[in-house]
Amino acid sequence: MFKTLAFPVALAGVFSFAHADEGQWQPYQLPQLKAELKRIGINMPAEKLADLNKHPMSAMVSLGGCSASFVSSTGLVVTNHHCAYGAVQRNSTAEKNYIANGFLAKTLAEELPAGPDARMYITDKVENVTELVSQGLTAAMSGRARAEHVESRIKALVAECEQDKAYRCSVPSFHRGLEYYRIRQMMIRDVRLVYAPSDKIGNFGGDVDNFEWPRHTGDYSFLRAYVGKDGRPADPSADNVPYQSKDFLVVSAQGLKNGDPILMAGYPGRTSRYKLPAEIRFARDVSYPAKVTESRADLAVIAAATQGNAGAAVRYASVVKGISNGLKKTEGLLDGFARKDIAAIKDGQDAEFRRWYAQHGSKQDLLKELDTLITADMAMSEEEFAWSVASTSELLKSARTLYRLAIEIEKPDAERHTGYQQRDMTIIAGKLSRLEQSYLPNVDQARFTAALQRYNKLAAKSHIQGLDVLLPTPESVAGLYQQSSLNETAKRLGWMSKDRKAFEQSDDAFIRLAVKLHDTAMSLENRRKELDGNLERVIPQYMQAVIEWKKSLGKPVYPDANSTLRVTYGTVAPYSPRDGISKGPFTTVEGIVQKHTGKSPFNMQESLLTAVKEKRYGVFKDAVLQTVPVNFLSSADTTGGNSGSAVLNKNGELVGLNFDSTYESITKDWYFDTAITRAIQVDIRYMLWVMKEVDHADNLLKEMTIRYPEK
């Protein structure tokens, strides 16, 4: 592709030019950042940080959407309150409301199931399999054939890796398909809730303070991993025992100060740092506004359908929290785009790159082909968004999953579509069971009816050809719920063992609807495969060129986040969001008292207010602040999925938990602005102080290894 470079590009040596806190680095890259880590004051050897089987990386955990870390030798895991919120909600009722009152298990016997779909993943092996995935690809392949070939190669690599059933393996792409890595993770299937403070602490400030600074949120909770008596992962059982953690983090109550270095390890979800200007404008002008409108409307419907019903509100608390968090982030992205013209910045970078490519690239039609495919991708995204609106119902989603499963089961396991293989059965069952705690027929009916009304108002170009005549009218939705038994968990699960013929002969209204919609859904899926296959052919060539260009400029090169284990670094740092305003890096418990109004979301529990009034700070009192710090800012590079990520001091000890970003930082998913990008963390001293002075979680304090300040 290049006059001087062979495909695929060798990425070694392109990371030594980093001079900012930007970058979500794969662990193996850290030795090449040795000088940077030393410069900011990190004492741990970079080679040790790169080894997944050594402390501290061996203590890091993925929760499948959030991050966490082991803090004891008996499987105790600390993460964010909002990451454990689903587990808290599933165990709550209007009468026994752990959301409002908090939950603490004083003994192992009192710990509660986190939910049928709760998982912990411990990464222990990562290997580059790019050549194996690419094996057999030819230029003559259609996009769909290419996509299916890659999928087949990945499934074979996963099957080989999962011969030991203790592990869950995946083969995600990096640099938009330029590289593939096979990742092996031990999958813990028995996860239990140990301790969560009241949401008066864990969600203090609620949506009002979400993505804001100053912040005073105790966003932490504890879970525990359980395994069979043989020490291997097992299905949930009363006979299981706590997992013996190979490594765990020492908790440091010695604290941080402004300018101190930090490391953060976790599983960031998705960033879009290498997207084209056109893709940024599409997000800014089309997809994000549509998402905001849809989220606001859906939340309004849920609020109306659950109003006055405390039990219903508890059931949908986790759903509402998830939608609300996504809404606030999307609104922040739009505000960020309005505040700083990132598309224009990218225009300049793109123009500079294209000038460079004109001199160094040998395939001069590459960028034209890329632009054409990106345009097609954006158009199809609008259709996929419309489809997601039209299929809002949880019962419809369940029915569609079950019918697709019945069809896929007819094939040999290796030929089934990803997500419907034998390895996926427990996950499907968990998702179907989860509705038992987060579903009510009248609420789902209201959501589906309103969603169909909104779908009918979407632009005609976004409507999938042939779909409209297959969808129920909003007026007929009530009848679907009256003629379906899928609202019963046992009957939903019972459909997992039925064949295609049973579905096609069923008189269940949602099963019939799923069967009717299947061909249209498959048509959309196959068109997506065709487009993705072509994108997977072109974008890696583009990314190879971008990497070489950035390398020539001495700029950092790291892959976009993709939910795999990453390490980032930075310092405790204030920032100035706008002219004349400077925001310090710490908040304190006095700020909680100042914000307290007695009304949600600024209603703090009295026991904490009393502890502050009496200044019962003990060893958690900061020598400079003369009080207990609550949250702090750092310049680390984070995104969604980093929630719960361990924040480590220069010696690798746990000093905080990442849980949010400042509002001005949200656009970092697209563009990292060193001056204003700040992550928000819970100071571990606040967590320990609440555990001791407010919730009396003495059993957990004894279980952890805590390094207290020297007297």
Write out pLDDT tens, residues 521-538.
999 999 999 999 999 999
CB 222 within 8 A of CB 77: yes
Q: Check pLDDT > 70 for residue 113.
A: yes
Burial grade of 138 (CB within 10 A; 0-12, 13-18, 19 or more): exposed
Tokens of 377: 């991708």
Q: What is the pLDDT of residue 3?
A: 36
What residues contact 245, with CB distance under 8 A and at least 6 apart?
A: 59, 70, 72, 73, 74, 75, 76, 225
Catalytic residue among 69, 221, 643, 645: 643
Nearest-angstrom CA–CA distance, 186 and 125:
10
- Characterise 237 by phi-psi region: left (phi > 0), alpha (psi -120 to 50), beta (else): beta
Name the strand (E) or helix (H) holding 200: helix 199-202
Nearest-angstrom CA–CA distance, 177 and 8:
11
Nearest-angstrom CA–CA distance, 491 and 301:
27
Catalytic residue among 82, 149, 463, 596: 82
Query: Model confidence over 70-99: pLDDT tens digits?
Result: 999 999 999 999 999 999 999 999 999 999
Nearest-angstrom CA–CA distance, 294 and 392:
11
Q: What is the pLDDT of residue 555?
A: 79
pTM: 0.90
How does residue 9 score in pLDDT terms, banded at 50, 70 and 90?
very low
Active site (annotated) includes residue 170: no
Query: Model confidence over 267-278: pLDDT tens digits?
Result: 999 999 999 999
Tokens of 127: 């290997």
- Matching residue, tokens 């900061």: 622
Q: Check pLDDT > 80 for residue 4.
A: no
Phi, psi for residue 33 in degrees, rounded to 5: -105, 15
Nearest-angstrom CA–CA distance, 508 and 483:
6
Q: Check pLDDT > 60 for residue 435.
A: yes
* CA triple 91-680-99, angle to 5 deg: 15
Query: Model confidence over 404-428: pLDDT tens digits?
Result: 999 999 999 999 999 999 999 999 9
Nearest-angstrom CA–CA distance, 150 and 702:
50
* CA triple 596-597-599, angle to 5 deg: 115
Nearest-angstrom CA–CA distance, 603 and 595:
9
- CB neighbourhood size of 410 (10 A): 10
Q: What is the pLDDT of residue 331?
A: 92
Phi, psi for residue 570 in degrees, rounded to 5: 175, -160
Q: What is the pLDDT of residue 628?
A: 98
> CA dist 355 to 176, 348, 350, Å?
22, 11, 9
CB 698 within 8 A of CB 692: yes
Beta bridge partners of 174: 179
Q: Check pLDDT > 90 for residue 364.
A: no
Q: Check pLDDT > 50 for residue 2.
A: no
Catalytic residue among 190, 219, 660, 683: 219
Q: Check pLDDT > 50 for residue 17.
A: no
Reduced to 3 states (helix: H, G, I; strand: E, B; else coil), residue 560 is: coil
Query: Model confidence over 128-167: pLDDT tens digits?
Result: 999 999 999 999 999 999 999 999 999 999 999 999 999 9
**Mean pLDDT, rounded, for 228-251:** 97
Query: Model confidence over 569-625: pLDDT tens digits?
Result: 999 999 998 889 999 999 999 999 999 999 999 999 999 999 999 999 999 999 999
CB 613 within 8 A of CB 628: no
> CA dist 517 to 403, 483, 514, Å?
10, 18, 5
**Mean pLDDT, rounded, for 650-670:** 94
**Mean pLDDT, rounded, for 329-333:** 91
- With a pLDDT cut of 70, the percent of the chain lying above it is 97
Nearest-angstrom CA–CA distance, 646 and 654:
6
Nearest-angstrom CA–CA distance, 239 and 22:
46
Beta bridge partners of 647: 264, 656
Active site (annotated) includes residue 219: yes
Q: Check pLDDT > 80 for residue 13.
A: no
Q: Quick one: DSSP state of residue 235? A: -
Q: Check pLDDT > 90 for residue 221.
A: yes
Active site (annotated) includes residue 360: no
Q: What is the pLDDT of residue 297?
A: 98
What residues contact 451, with CB distance under 8 A and at least 6 apart?
A: 298, 389, 390, 392, 393
Q: How far is CA 140 from the centre of its chain?
A: 37
Phi, psi for residue 614 in degrees, rounded to 5: -85, 0
Q: Check pLDDT > 80 for residue 36.
A: yes
Q: Check pLDDT > 90 for residue 6.
A: no
Nearest-angstrom CA–CA distance, 58 and 692:
28
Q: What is the pLDDT of residue 18?
A: 40
Q: What is the pLDDT of residue 8?
A: 40
Q: What is the pLDDT of residue 20?
A: 58
State the average pLDDT for the chain: 94
